[in-house]
Amino acid sequence: MDRRTTIKWMLAAAASAPLARLPHLSAAQGSGEAKPYGTDPRLADRTYAPGDLWPLTFTPAQRQLATVLSDVIIPADATSPSASAVGVIDFIDEWISAPYPEHRDDRKIVLGGFDWFDAEATRRYSKKTIALDTNQLHAICDDICYLPKARAAFAEAATFFARYRDLTAGGFYTTPQGRKDLRYIGNIPLPRFDGPPLEVLKKVGLA
């Protein structure tokens, strides 16, 4: 196989990979017990979706709340859709349901944070989070969005918000839409590597 043929084949393989996805296994089909995927999972010949490997956690109410919070962090704008529109809620559900120590810790933080948020919304506005208007939602977020400046009473909530923002961003920017938003270019075979274009060198003072 010559180089040109291989590159064509690679491109075709990359483009068709999602078609190789196995039928989605719903969480209900699992045994109910989350098992690690082990040290030798299938890599090249299948793709995975949340719920394929271990049962998910969110109740419908938790999904609604997760959607509100993820979308307040990453809303739709002129460049890209909102977090929830590209599967971030499923990803966060997969994450907090995963059978590994780090994820079990995050499970406590996230579910605890959900409870706190609803309690806080009720305390301030006598509503659940999902019923808040934008100003009310932002008022709470503003108090907890930056741990170093949060009041002591909000420290735990700020820790949750930082973690939840990382999970939301982690889920969002690893999608095709998220990569496009960052204007990432790559993962395509090239015949040669040219280094930075002149306009880049000029911008940083190297040309």
Partner 1 sequence: MPFVDAEAAAKRNYDVIVVGSGAGGGQMAYTLTMNGARVLMLEAGRKYDPAMETAMFQTPEMAPLRGSGTPDKPFGFYDATVDGGWQVPGEPYVRSSEEHEGRFEWWRARMLGGRTNHWGRIALRNGPYDFKPRSRDGLGFDWPISYEEIAPYYDKVEMLVGIYGSNEGLENTPDSPAGCLLPPPKPIVSDLLIQKYGRTLGLPTIACHRAVLTQPLDWKNSPAKLHPGNAFAQGIIARDMQRRMACLWATPCGQGCSVRANYQSTTVHLPPALETGKLDILTDAMVAEVILDKHGNATGVRFVDKHAGVSREVSARVVVLAASACETVRILLNSRTAKFPHGLANASGKVGKYLMDTVGSDLAGQIPLLENLPPHNEEGASGAHMYVPWWQYKTAEKLGFPRGYHIEFGGGRRMPQYYTSSGMEWLTGGSYGAKFKEDARRYYGSIVYFAGRGEMIPNEDSYCEIDPAVKDKWGIPVLRFHWKWSEHETRQAAHMQKTFADLIGAMGGRLQKPAQTDGAKAIAPGGSIIHEVGGVMMGDDPQRSAVNKWCQAWEVKNLFVADGSPFPSNADKNPTLTIMANAWRVADHILDRMQRKEL
To the nearest whole angstrom, how small is the minimum distance from the Cβ of residue 64 to partner 1? 19
CB atoms within 10 A of CB 172: 26
To the nearest whole angstrom, how small is the minimum distance from the Cβ of residue 73 to partner 1? 5
**Residue (18 or 23) nearer to partner 1, CB:** 18
Closest alpha carbon to 172 in 62, 77, 92: 92
**Residue (23 or 205) nearer to partner 1, CB:** 205
Query: What is the C-alpha to C-alpha distance for residues 183 and 82, in angstroms, rounded to an integer?
Result: 16
To the nearest whole angstrom, how small is the minimum distance from the Cβ of residue 85 to partner 1? 13
**Residue (33 or 40) nearer to partner 1, CB:** 40
Query: What is the C-alpha to C-alpha distance for residues 149 and 105, in angstroms, rounded to an integer?
Result: 24
Query: What is the C-alpha to C-alpha distance for residues 20 and 22, in angstroms, rounded to an integer?
Result: 6
To the nearest whole angstrom, how small is the minimum distance from the Cβ of residue 29 to partner 1? 16
**Residue (60 or 102) nearer to partner 1, CB:** 102
Q: How many whole angstroms from its chain centre is CA 14?
A: 22
